[in-house]
Amino acid sequence: MSGSIYAFNTSRYEIAAQLKTKATLTSGQAVKLVEFPSTSGFPVLKLDPATSTDAILGVVPIGTSLTEAVPSRIVGLNSPLIPVLMAEDAVAGDYILVATVDGKFKKAKGADIAQAQLLEDTKSANVGWAKPVLFKL
Amino acid sequence: MSNSPAEFAIEPIQKNNTNTFPFDPTNPDDWSNPPTTLQGAIDQLARRRQEVILGGLGPGGVFYPNNYIGPGFGSYSSAYVNAYGSGSGFYRVTQAGILSHFSVSNAVPPGSNISIDLQIAPSANPFLFVYSGVTITIGANNYVASNNADMLSVNVDDIIALYNPSFFVGYSPSTIVVTAQFLPNL
């Protein structure tokens, strides 16, 4: 991340959540909703890593991890800025979408529906700030 | 225990410009809805808002950026909502109702505007803390601040902590107290 991790506090847009299946996601990985809590159950959304065919619910915030073991938080897409974990190098202005099975982002190509736009140059395996969009290239 | 007027003479149910003082149960304007039955009167009295303390810091208290405070009234805030040994802890809701009239007082006013977010978690589980939508902003150089616009519906075993959402700006309020008025559901 070339910008500060403190550039924006996403706390006001965070949702309590937990993975449904065993995994560990780190900051910037995207998730999809798989299960609402039952009315009598533990009140936390159950998620799984998003893949390229999923509508994403949010991403894991800076400084947070998401596992199946304990509840944690995700940043909803109503946040003006979200952290994204890139699976390839990209630059500010690139439209991106989830392109791996574990919720990492790549550049969108022709006819893709972009899910975010990068706001800073970001190398592969790094986290960068992006703004959520829903934009067909 | 009798139901004499003297026992009602605690304070008005709802203040308005025709209230008498002290509370006069024979004056309809001293009631939010003049009760027609004894049970109605008892219900209204039971529904008076109660001032509750959500949290704060003790003398010499420091509220660091990106930190939590609670009713532990420690001398400094905590980076983790459930951290051991610092000024956090939670306000636990023991009865469903509505929190409103959020208020802050601090012994040493801040030099710039400070926001305090209320975070709330269900089931008494601090891992579920999220922003409640309620923020109290203390203006620069002010000893007190209020948020009378927002209301927060709470359930049994919800817990509340107070969070400084700034990554950069903390301050040293010394003693700071955050309160709200709680109206229990019938």
| Residue B149 DSSP class | S
**Residues A42, A64 within the same domain:** yes
Confidence of residue A137 (pLDDT cuts 50, 70, 90): confident
**A86 and A118 share one domain:** yes
pLDDT tens sequence across B93-122: 999 999 999 999 999 999 999 999 999 999
**Which domains, and CATH codes, for chain B?**
5-46 (no CATH), 50-184 (2.60.120)
Range of the domain at A41: 11-76
Residue A1 lies in a domain: no
What pLDDT is stored for residue B84 in this prediction?
53
Q: What is the ipTM of this complex?
A: 0.84
pLDDT score, position B82: 67
Instruction: State chain B's mean pLDDT as an integer.
Output: 84
Our count of domains for chain A comes to 2
The pLDDT tens digits of the residues spanning B115-166 come to 999 999 998 888 899 999 999 999 999 999 999 999 999 999 999 999 999 9
Distance CA A8, CA A127 (A): 14
Test A14 with B130 for CB contact under 8 angstroms: yes
Contacts with A57 (C-beta within 8 Å, 6 or more apart), sequence order: A15, A31, A32, A33, A45, A47, A50, A74, A76, A77
Q: Which of A36-40, B82-86, B174-178 has the lowest mean pLDDT?
A: B82-86
Q: Find, in chain A, the residue whose alpha carbon is nearest to that of B116.
A: A12
User: Coil, helix or strand for A119?
Assistant: coil
Same domain for A119 and A67: no
pLDDT score for B91: 95
Would the CB atoms of B130 and A42 count as touching at under 8 Å?
no
Q: Does some domain include residue A42? A: yes
Confidence of residue B16 (pLDDT cuts 50, 70, 90): low
Omega cis (within 30) before B22: yes
Asked whether residue A21 is domain-assigned, the answer is yes
Minimum mean pLDDT among A5-14, A32-41, A77-86, B78-87: which range?
B78-87
Q: How far apart are CA A135 and CA B65, in angstroms?
A: 36
Residue B8 reports pLDDT greater than 80: no
Residues A87 and A125 in one domain: yes
Q: Is the separation of the CB atoms in A62 and A83 below 8 Å? A: yes
The residue out of A26, A49, A76 marking a domain boundary is A76
Rounded to 5 degrees, what are φ and ψ at B22? Answer: -70, 175
Q: How far is A9 from chain B (nearest CA, A)?
A: 7
Residues A27-41 have a mean pLDDT of: 89
CA angle B88, A61, A95 (to 5 degrees): 160
Q: What is the pTM of this model?
A: 0.81
CA-based nearest residue in chain B for residue A5:
B167
| Contact list, B119 vs chain A (CB under 8 Å) | 11
Q: Do A43 and B122 touch (CB under 8 A)?
A: yes
Distance from CA of A38 to the nearest CA of B (A): 14
